[in-house]
């Protein structure tokens, strides 16, 4: 796709903005206030794609996304892994001994929790990392800092007080690329694929065990299994699975056939190639 229009949550300089540029260097990006706003731009045709964070190696899953994706008429067409280097930013002239408060997106605050505690800073959750940087640049108060990217520091003329402020090295966010159009790649044995879907289990004993049993008996690897409650009820759960394979492979055909007996409301979210990052980090498949 040439020069795709990509929607993302945040403002210019956000990590989602960086992910768009790194995955699609010629892209035109649209900043949105919320994840749902970004997704709905794709649904309406105002954007070609949405770049949405799904999970982080330090802070875990972005639960809101698992709930949103099945409700919308969008498809996962790719995944992207973006290294995250959190920086502690202050206004020009600020020093560590001056600061009292730190603002950022809740995920970024969680990923820097130990270092925030070491500096005894009061954390304030905001809707975006780069938006927090923009806000403190306008406050011009040395007591206030933000956790954001180097790009945000440059864009909003801020001082980098700590360049590697995250609690863990190798911090990485997995993004999914969403499209209104279904794009299932033809199976090529030289490539590796992921099939993502959601389902509920039928009201029978050991339903989840039986639903997943077909993957084990057919030697199909499940990369991820997530569950969450539906409709405000603690009795109904929806399950999200990422499967190591393409639905044209015989083993997966048999496994999905068995799934049909014990699951209901199965919705395919997408079939897409594995990102090269996975080859460099085999523990995440």
- Positions marked catalytic: 173, 175
Q: Are 111 and 166 in contact (CB under 8 A)?
A: yes
Chain centroid to Cα 98, Å, comes to: 34
Distance CA 199, CA 259 (A): 9
Taking alpha carbons only, the member of 10, 126, 108 closest to residue 56 is 108
Distance CA 211, CA 256 (A): 9
Distance CA 112, CA 167 (A): 5
Distance CA 263, CA 207 (A): 8
Q: Are 200 and 237 in contact (CB under 8 A)?
A: yes
């Amino acid at each position: 796709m040439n020069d795709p229009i990509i929607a993302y949550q945040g403002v210019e300089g956000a990590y989602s903005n960086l992910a768009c540029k790194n995955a699609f260097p010629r892209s035109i990006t649209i900043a949105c206030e919320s994840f749902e706003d970004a997704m709905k731009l794709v649904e309406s045709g105002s954007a070609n794609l949405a770049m949405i964070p799904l999970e982080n190696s330090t802070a875990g899953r972005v639960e809101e996304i698992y709930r949103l994706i099945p409700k919308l008429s969008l498809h996962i067409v790719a995944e992207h892994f973006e290294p995250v280097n959190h920086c502690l930013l202050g206004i020009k002239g600020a020093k560590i001994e001056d600061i009292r408060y730190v603002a950022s997106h809740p995920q970024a605050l969680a990923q820097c929790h130990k270092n925030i505690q070491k500096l005894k800073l009061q954390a304030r959750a905001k809707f975006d990392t780069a938006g927090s940087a923009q806000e403190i640049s306008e406050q011009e108060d040395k007591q206030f800092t933000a956790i954001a990217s180097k790009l945000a520091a440059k864009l909003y003329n801020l001082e980098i007080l700590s360049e590697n402020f995250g609690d863990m090295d190798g911090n990485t966010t997995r993004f999914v690329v969403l499209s209104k159009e279904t794009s299932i790649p033809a199976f090529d044995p030289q490539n590796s694929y992921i099939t993502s879907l959601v389902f509920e289990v039928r009201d029978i004993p050991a339903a989840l065990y039986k639903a997943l049993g077909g993957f084990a008996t057919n030697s199909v690897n499940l990369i991820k299994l997530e569950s969450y409650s539906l409709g405000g009820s603690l009795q109904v759960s929806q399950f999200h699975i990422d499967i190591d394979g393409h639905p044209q492979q015989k083993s997966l055909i048999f496994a999905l056939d068995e799934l049909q007996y014990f699951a209901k409301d199965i919705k395919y979210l997408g079939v897409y190639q594995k990102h090269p990052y996975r080859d460099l980090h085999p523990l995440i498949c």
